[in-house]
């Protein structure tokens, strides 16, 4: 009962959340100064399926209940966004050749989140995005207002049963600005703008343009084929008429007597 109330409450908050809402998260060093800044808007959808039947789902977004923690004492820094049901979204930063590399990971507990309806061993499930982002040089921030989607699936057998449970996680980062090194007075440095990523899903505008282009190409091919067929039919028809004209004794052809009469007329001239 409580899980259902939590789900409907989360769904209501999600529907009430205006689009394009971002929230600023900070990680503070031992001196109290901010060392990691993350201003982000995201949507996370998690669905659990047991033997092909959906048994639960939940959605996450940057509301007031999200807590931020992290570590900035070493060259590898990270920030974790933790939700009410112990789900976590990680951003891990590393320096390679004076450039900053960003890794992303989502972690949750099926036993706790889905109340045992769809549980696996181990108790936590991790989904790591294998696409590493190069987010610019040290001392700059990284800003991206283009949607970036990641999709994960994991399948496993439920202990002590013959049932199979699967999870799908869809992480959509709608906009983000982040900085993990040389943060000055809790403010972002000059940003490095992101390049539009390659999406798992094409938006409706791209799909419409692609569909119209495909229709035009198909129409051109069909028109060319029809024109070739018409030309061949005309050629065949013309050849048939010519053969009938040349055939002796035909209604439209020239007879031997008519040919002799024509030759005599020509000699008389």
Work out the percent of the chain whose per-residue pLDDT is above 90.
Answer: 28
Sign of the C-alpha dihedral computed for residues 84, 166, 90 and 143 taken in this order:
negative
Read off the pLDDT of each residue in 52-77 and give the average, rounded to a whole number. Answer: 90
pLDDT at 52: 83
CATH of domain 2-201: 2.40.160.110
Confidence band for 233, pLDDT divided at 50, 70 and 90? low
DSSP summary character for residue 255:
P
Q: How far apart are the first and last CA of the chain?
A: 117
Whether 136 has a pLDDT exceeding 50, the answer reads yes
Are 17 and 61 within 8 A, CB to CB? Answer: yes
Strands 191-193 and 141-144: parallel
Q: What is the mean pLDDT of the chain?
A: 75
Does the predicted TM-score (pTM) go above 0.75? Answer: no
pLDDT at 209: 41
Q: What residue ranges do the domains of the chain occupy? A: 2-201, 212-268
Whether 177 has a pLDDT exceeding 80, the answer reads yes
Confidence band for 215, pLDDT divided at 50, 70 and 90? low
- pLDDT per residue as tens digits for the range 6-21: 444 444 444 444 445 7
Residue 76: burial class (beta carbons within 10 Å; 0-12, 13-18, 19+)? middle
- As a residue count, the chain comes to 269
Ranking 46-50, 104-108, 149-153, 216-220 by mean pLDDT, the lowest is: 216-220
């Amino acid at each position: 009962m409580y899980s259902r109330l939590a789900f409907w409450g989360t769904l209501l908050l999600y529907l009430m959340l205006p689009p394009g809402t971002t929230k600023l998260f900070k990680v503070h060093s031992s001196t109290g100064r901010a060392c990691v800044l993350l201003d982000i808007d995201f949507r996370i959808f998690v669905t659990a399926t047991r033997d092909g039947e959906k048994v639960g789902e939940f959605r996450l977004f940057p509301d007031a209940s999200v807590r931020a923690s992290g570590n900035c004492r070493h060259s590898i820094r990270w920030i974790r966004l933790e939700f009410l049901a112990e789900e976590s979204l990680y951003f891990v930063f590393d320096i390679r050749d004076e450039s900053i590399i960003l890794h992303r990971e989502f972690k949750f507990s099926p036993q706790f989140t889905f109340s045992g309806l769809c549980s696996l061993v181990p108790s936590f499930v991790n989904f790591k995005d294998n696409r590493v982002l190069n987010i610019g040089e040290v001392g700059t921030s990284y800003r991206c207002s283009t949607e970036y989607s990641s999709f994960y699936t994991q399948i496993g057998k439920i202990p002590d049963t013959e049932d199979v449970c699967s999870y799908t996680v869809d992480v959509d980062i709608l906009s983000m600005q982040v900085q993990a090194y040389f943060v000055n007075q809790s403010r972002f440095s000059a940003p490095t703008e992101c390049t539009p990523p390659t999406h798992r899903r094409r938006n409706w505008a791209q799909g419409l343009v692609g569909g119209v282009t495909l229709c035009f190409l198909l129409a051109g091919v069909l028109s060319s084929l029809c024109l070739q067929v018409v030309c061949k039919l005309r050629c065949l028809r013309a050849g048939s008429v010519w053969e009938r004209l040349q055939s002796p004794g035909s209604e439209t052809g020239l007879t031997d007597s008519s040919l002799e009469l024509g030759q005599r007329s020509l000699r008389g001239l």
